[in-house]
Structure 1
Amino acid sequence: MKSKVYFTKEITPEKVVEMYQAMGLELPGKVAVKVHSGEKGNQNFLRPEFWKPMVETVHGTIVECNTAYGDAAGGVRDNTASHLKLLEEHGWTKYFDVDLMDAEGPDIVWPIPNGKVLKENKLGKNIENYDSMLVLAHFKGHPMGGYGGALKQLAIGCASRAGKALIHSAGKTEDRFETWQQHASNVVFPEAMADAASSVVDHFKGKIAFINVMKNLSVDCDCCQVAEDPCMKDIGVLASTDPVAIDQACMDLVIHSDDPGRDHFMERVNSRNGIHTIEAAADLGVGSREYELIEM
């Protein structure tokens, strides 16, 4: 059977809730809501006000992890003190309970027995405090992964600082300063992301849902302090219980768009071999690239 992906061209907070409800999945217990909280200086990330009705619907806790940037890369989310301060500055703590899952060690280690590159994933230990997860992704480009969507939120997004370094270096180092000298090729890096994503999906199996918002479509991620402005018009909101299908559907909506910015966006995706993350995740059984798009 093809995975169901729900789609609407209307991008409003209320429509996001409607798309979640269309999936027919009620997330049980304590719900972790994974967002991208936005790097300091970034202009494209989706604000807490936009996500507020959705987070309140599931009575969720916003979860994030520290980044693996070295000092030279800029940004303030690479250590707990300044990351917490930024979460406050961006308004997340004004509206929600916020959990920086790797604020205090030690990390937890989840095995990836069938991983293509990684055999284990390191995550912020607080992830084990949650019964289910809602992944709210801002779909856009990415300087290293080509694009960012549901799979990136599962992989890089849920990994601790050491875990991020392991993914970026394809398992060579968990030192965040060394990882940029040993950054993996654009074949094994997407595969390492798929490996890490698979461990999170396995953990929350049947209790995880995904919403991708195709808005502010820059070739750069919300992790960039200075991001390029959007190159395409907004496309819509998608929802699915399958992270592979939802990312594939987003990619197809870009590819089949007649927007004049499409080629620029896809140059970023293709030059980083971004679609290989989707291919690798499908190969691992994380989800299916075959889907039924249900427009609402």
Structure 2
Amino acid sequence: MSQSKVFFRSAAEIGPANTQIDQIKELFLKIPVVEKGDLVAIKIHPGEYGNTTYVRPVIVRTVVDMVKEAGGIPFITDTTVLYGGKRFNGADLLWTAAVNGFTDGSMNAPFISADGLLGDDSVVVPIGGEFVENITVASAIAKADAMIMISHCKGHPASGFGGAVKNLGMGCLDKEGKAKVHAPGKPDIDMENCIGCRKCIKTCPWNAISLENGKANIDKSLCKGELSCIDSCKFQAIVPPENSTTEMQILLGEASIGPIKLLPGKIGYINWMFDLTPGCDCFNFSAPSFAGNVGMLASMDPVAIDKASLDLINKKIAEEGCLHSITDVWGIDPTIHLEYAAKMGAGSMKYSLDS
């Protein structure tokens, strides 16, 4: 398999004459997917309410300006989520995006909930995976002419790492698609540990948890498997299935091909490797970084850019001696979803780095 090109700009090179804005302008030119008149989705994660380490608005605004210079019509977008935070529906998503700095005034482009008000506005895409036959991609992404995907690289409790592939195979899907990927995560209750405190009941937005005989009970026909209930329990009474993270990564990798099939050759990827937090930007807080800033990457290949990101992050970790690798953050091998994405034809694990 041939190598994909990945372009790198190092955080170590940043200074008064070479800012992140300068670097993002250089990298944008390496991913020429925007043609005159294109409706261009700029897919970001605006951060959950309370999170402070998402990709900075000034980076996104710079990409908006570059899209306009290229003749495109940009809009910024993200999708609603399965957990009960401040991005569960389209109204809350836009509110949170505005609070975190992504407004029409600051971006000079509108922010759109890609899967609509309730997270069910989508297009069914046949993908023919080993485990996923069809996946549902959010409509505003599915119907765009091109997409620039800006991903904040960080750890993740389910996939070990969040980058471009996760942004495709989770962030571009509607609620139904997300639930399909999360299906292996439907947990059980450890009755000995459960004290019937009801905190998990209040956490679940799907009414999947109830109290029976003083103990929590999970209705798996209602459960979406996204596991925020685990964090709500101080008594370790909610137990995820064995191998659930591996199985979820497999589904994630397969699902990532959905948006690519809809926009073949029209997606450019930028990975932002700053504020390398252990948790996702979906967390309502930002924990200290597990390693120092690395820089930014751009590519036309989501698998290659993520593999290069992991290699550069692991190199940074080795230099600092803080961990052995990013796998140590959650004890999860993050290459599984990349390998399955590559198997689906999303990209290549082999790359050449141009810095």
What is the aligned-residue identity percentage? 30
Which one of 249, 252, 259 corresponds to residue 311 of structure 2?
252
Q: 2:179 aligns with which of 131, 140, 165?
A: 165
- Structure 2 alignment gaps of length 5 or more: 15-19, 69-73, 187-204, 209-222, 228-239
1:40 corresponds to: 49
1:106 to 1:238, Cα distance in 2 relative to 1, 3 A = closer
- Structure 1 residue 185 and structure 2 residue 185: aligned? no
Amino acid at match of 1:3: S
For residues 170 and 249 of structure 1, the distance between their equivalents in structure 2, rounded to whole angstroms, comes to 28
Determine if contact 2:182/2:248 at 8 Å carries over to the other structure: yes
8 Å contact kept, 1:117–1:188: no
**Which of 63, 83, 87 is equivalent to 2:77?**
63
Aligned to 1:280: 340
Counterparts of 2:63 and 2:291 in 1: how far apart (Å)? Answer: 25
Structure 1: gaps of 5 or more residues: none
Structure 1 residues 217, 44: closer, same or farther in 2, change over 3 A?
Answer: same
| Equivalent-residue separation in structure 2 for 1:157 and 1:17 (angstroms) | 24
Tell me the residue number matched to 2:96.
Answer: 86
CA deviations 1:250-289 (Å, max 9, x no partner) are 11112223123343743135x2332101111111121111
Hey, what's the Cα distance between the residues in 2 that align with 1:289 and 1:167?
22
Partner in structure 2 of residue 27 of structure 1 = 34
| Pairing 1:112–2:127 present | yes
SS at match of 1:22: coil
Q: What residue in structure 1 maps to residue 21 of structure 2?
A: 13
**Structure 2 residue corresponding to 1:263, chosen from 309, 321, 324:** 324
Q: Deviations over 1:216-248 (max 9, x none)?
A: 011111110123211211001111000000000
Q: State the TM-score, normalized to the length of structure 1.
A: 0.90
1:162-210 CA-to-partner distances (Å, cap 9, x unmatched) read: 21111111599xx965022787712221111111111111211111110
Letter in structure 1 aligned against 2:259:
V
Rounded Cα–Cα distance in structure 2 between residues aligned with 1:254 and 1:240: 17
CA deviation map 1:67-102 (0-9, x unaligned): 011x3xxx2111222222111211212323111011
Paired amino acid for 1:13: I
Matched with 2:162 is 148
Kindly provide the amino acid, as one letter, of the partner of residue 9 in structure 1: S
Q: Which amino acid aligns with 1:129?
A: K
How many residue pairs end up in the alignment? Answer: 286
Q: What do you get for the CA RMSD once the two structures are aligned?
A: 2.1
* 1:98 counterpart residue number: 111
**Residue in structure 1 matching 2:255, options 196, 206, 209:** 196
The equivalent of 2:140 in structure 1 is 126
Mapped partners of 2:292, 2:43: distance in 1: 25
Structure 2 distance, partners of 1:224, 1:139, is 14
Per the alignment, in what secondary structure is the counterpart of residue 31 of structure 1? strand
SS at match of 1:146: coil
- Partner-residue secondary structure (3-state), 1:40: coil
